[in-house]
Structure 1
Amino acid sequence: MASVAGEWQIPMEARKEVQKLATEWDDVADSRALEVVPLKGAMTNEVFQIRWPVAGGEKSRKVLLRMYGEGVGHFFDRANEIKTFEFMSRHGRGPRLLACFPNGRVEEFIHARTLSAADLRDVEISALIASKLREFHDLNMTGPNTVHIWDRLRNWLIAARRLCSYEEIKAINLDLIEKEISSLENDLSGKEERIGFCHNDLQYGNIMIEEETKMLTIIDYEYASFNPIAYDIANHFCEMAADYHTETPHILDYNKYPDHEERKRFVQIYLSFSGDKADPVEVENLLASIEKYTLVSHLIWGLWGVISDHVNDIDFDYLEYAKQRFCQYWSRKAKTL
C-alpha cells in the first residue's frame, strides 16, 4: 500500500530528517513532495520506503526509514546495534547510514530484492546464503569473542516473567524455562565450539539479492553478537518454517524444516568457503550441533514473542507465535538431545 505525503503519517522528527536529505539532491524539485510506502514483514521495527519524484523521468529517489519498535530495550542495546551498522556500512557490507534521530534512522535504500520464504529453499540461493553467512561469521568485529546467547536467554526470561501475570506464566510454563536454559548450556557449551560474529536473526526478510549479479546483502543487525556458529545456522534453518507475508504471518509450518540432505548441502558449502573441501567428520559434527541448537532458537524466540506481546503494538500475534516455538521445543527436546 502506498500513500502520498499527508495520508500516511510519519513522526515530524522523521519527516524533517528525510526532507533535509532531499534538499541536497539537485534532481528533487520539492523535498516535501515525498511518498511514504510502509513495508510489510518487520516485527521489531516499523519500516518505510520514502521516495520523491525526480525531474525529467519516471525514476525516483528513495531512502529507507526505520522507526524503532516499542520496548526494544528488552531485547538489545541500540547503541551496539548502531555500532555494528556503521561497521558494515564502512566496509561496504550493508546500506549506508544517512541520518539518526531519537526514535529511528534513515538508511540507504538498496536496489535489490528482499528474499521470499520460498527463496530459502532454492538450491542456488541457499548456496549463496551459506557462503555469505560464513563470510559474516568471519568478520573481524571489535569486542570480546565471547558467547552471548546464554545471557540473552536469561535476561529475556527475567523480562518475560516481569511482564507476565501469574496465570500467564503458568499457562506457557515459563517457570520451567530457567532449568532448561541451564541444562542446554551444560550440554552444548564446549571447547570445540566454533565462535563467530553471528547475525542471530537470519530470516528471509533480512537477506537481499541483486538479481543480475546474484550478490547477497545481509541487513538488520539488531540481534547480532558473537555466538556459536552452529546456533546461527540452526536459527536460519528454523526460519524456513515461517512465511511472514501471509494473512497469518505468525503461523509456522515445521514440515518445511530442511531435511538432512538439504542441511548437509548447506553445511558443506559453508565449510568449503575458503576453497578447501569440507571434511566429512567436521560436516557431521556441525550438523549434529546445529540440530541441538535449534532448541535454543525455539526458546529464545518463544521468549521474544512473550515479551513482544506485552510491549509491541505491531499487528502480529506474538503470543501465538511464542506458543508454537515453545511447543516445538518440548516436542523435539528428547529426540534432539
Structure 2
Amino acid sequence: MAIQSNELIPSSSPEELKKVLQAVASEWGDVIEDMDALQATPLKGALTNEVYQINWPAKNGSLVRKVLVRIYGEGVEIFFNRDDEIKTFECMSRHGQGPQLLGRFSDGRIEQFIHARTLSAADLRDPQISALIAAKMREFHNLDMPGPIYVLLWDRLRNWLNKAKSLCSTKDAKEFRLDTLEEEIRMLEQELPQPHQEIRFCHNDLQYGNIMIDEETRAITIIDYEYASFNTVAYDLANHFCEMAANYHTDTPHILDYSIYPGLEERRRFVRVYLSYAGNQPSESEVDQLVHDAEKYTLANHLFWGLWGIISAYVNKIDFNYTEYARQRFQQYWSRKPSLLNSSAIPNGNNVNGHVV
C-alpha cells in the first residue's frame, strides 16, 4: 500500500513524518522525493500504538530499505512518560538490546526494522522457545539500568485508579467496583512484597507480540519498553504467564482463555531455566519459591491491566474491546484472590485449571 495519501498512516503531522523519513533515508545514501515510492504495511496486534512497516527502494536499486514507524496511541501519556520511555529505548540500544532509534516526530518515532519473526501465541507454549524467552528475560533483568531502584507498580496503580474514576461513567464505576480498589491496592502492597524478592528493571509487558526470534540464530529480542520500570521479577514472570491466556490475532482478540493458563510444571520449567541463566544452579526450593511469588503477583497484574483496559476504552481509538478485556481481568482478580492470599504454601504439584490451590 503506497502512502501517497495521509490517511494510511494517521499521523497528526504527515509532513513532519515525511521529513524524518527523508532524513533517515539520506543517512543511508537514499533520496525520497516521491511519497508514492514508499510502501506501508500495518502490523496487527499492537494495543497501545499503531505500527507500520515502511519500505522503499535503495538508491542503487539492489535492495529494499525497511523501517518501523510507530504512531503513538491517543491518550497513552496517561500510562507512562514518553520521554522516560525514549530514554529506556536508547539505553537498551546501547546495551545491544532491541532496535535502534532512527528518528522522532511529534506523535511517533521511526525504529530499526529487526529482521526476525514476531512470536505467536502458540510460540509461548513451545518448550524450546519458552526456554529461550526465560533466559532472555533473565538477561534483561540483569541489565545495568539508570534510575532509582524503586518499585513503581503501586504508585502507578493508584494513579491509574484515580484516572479511571475521573473518566468512568457511574455505571462502569459500579460494575468494576472502583470504590473498593484503593483498599485492594493498599492490601496487595502490604501482602505481596517480601524481603527475599528480587527487584530488577522489568519489562512489565512481555506478551508474545513484544518478543521476536531470529529463525536462523534462534536469538530472542525483546521490544517495546513503554511499561518498563524497576519491579519485582516475580511480577514480570506473573505478567508473562498471564499473557499465555491471550491471543491478539483472532477475530476476538480481547477474549482471554484462562483454561490454557500454564500449569504448575510448565511454570516451574520456565522459572528453572530463568534461574539457571549464566550457569547458575538453582535449588528446587528456590524454583518453588519464585513460582509461588509469581502466582501471587498475578493479582497485581490483573488490577494493572484491568485498569489499563478501563482507561483505554475511554481514550484509545484502536479497534479493540478494552472494556470486555478489563472485565475479564477483574473477574480473574476477584475469583483468584481468596485462594492466593489465604495460602502461604509453596506449590506441591496440586493445581486446578493450571493454578496452584
TM-score (norm 2): 0.91
For residue 10 of structure 1, report the CA deviation from its aligned partner. 4.3
Distance in 1 (alpha carbons) for counterparts of 2:246 and 2:120:
10
Which of 130-139 and 166-175 deviates more? 166-175
Distance in 1 (alpha carbons) for counterparts of 2:322 and 2:8:
25
Distance in 1 (alpha carbons) for counterparts of 2:296 and 2:226:
24
Q: Match for 1:200: what amino acid?
A: N
Report the counterpart of residue 15 of structure 1 in structure 2: 18
Which of 10-19 and 294-303 deviates more? 10-19
CA-to-aligned-CA distance 1:300-336 (integer Å, 9 cap, x gap):
0000000000100000000000000000111111112
Q: Is the 8 A contact 1:29 1:54 kept in 2?
A: no
1:1-337 aligned within 5 A: 2-6=1-5, 8-11=8-11, 12=14, 13-26=16-29, 30=33, 32=35, 33-54=37-58, 59-337=63-341
Distance in 2 (alpha carbons) for counterparts of 1:198 and 1:192:
17
For residue 59 of structure 1, report the CA deviation from its aligned partner. 4.0
Distance in 1 (alpha carbons) for counterparts of 2:328 and 2:17:
36
Distance in 2 (alpha carbons) for counterparts of 1:36 and 1:18:
12
SS in 1 for 2:244: helix
Q: CA RMSD in A?
A: 1.5
Distance in 2 (alpha carbons) for counterparts of 1:212 and 1:291:
34
SS in 2 for 1:313: coil
TM-score (norm 1): 0.96
SS in 1 for 2:166: helix
Which of 183-192 and 11-20 deviates more? 11-20
Q: Match for 1:252: what amino acid?
A: L
Q: Match for 1:23: what amino acid?
A: S
Distance in 1 (alpha carbons) for counterparts of 2:293 and 2:275:
14
Q: Match for 1:39: what amino acid?
A: L
Q: Match for 2:26: what amino acid?
A: T
Distance in 2 (alpha carbons) for counterparts of 1:270 and 1:301:
24
Report the counterpart of residue 349 of structure 2 in structure 1: none
SS in 1 for 2:279: coil
Aligned length: 336
CA-to-aligned-CA distance 1:42-92 (integer Å, 9 cap, x gap):
111111111112366674111000111111111001111000000011221
For residue 30 of structure 1, report the CA deviation from its aligned partner. 4.9
Unmatched 5+ stretches in structure 1? none
Identity, % of aligned pairs? Answer: 61
For residue 190 of structure 1, report the CA deviation from its aligned partner. 2.2
**Structure 2 CA distance for partners of 1:257 and 1:52, relative to 1, 3 Å:** same
For residue 121 of structure 1, report the CA deviation from its aligned partner. 0.3
Q: Is the 8 A contact 1:28 1:52 kept in 2?
A: no
Q: Is the 8 A contact 1:5 1:36 kept in 2?
A: no
Q: Is the 8 A contact 1:231 1:290 kept in 2?
A: yes
For residue 23 of structure 1, report the CA deviation from its aligned partner. 3.3
**Structure 2 CA distance for partners of 1:29 and 1:66, relative to 1, 3 Å:** closer
**Structure 2 CA distance for partners of 1:142 and 1:31, relative to 1, 3 Å:** farther
For residue 15 of structure 1, report the CA deviation from its aligned partner. 2.3
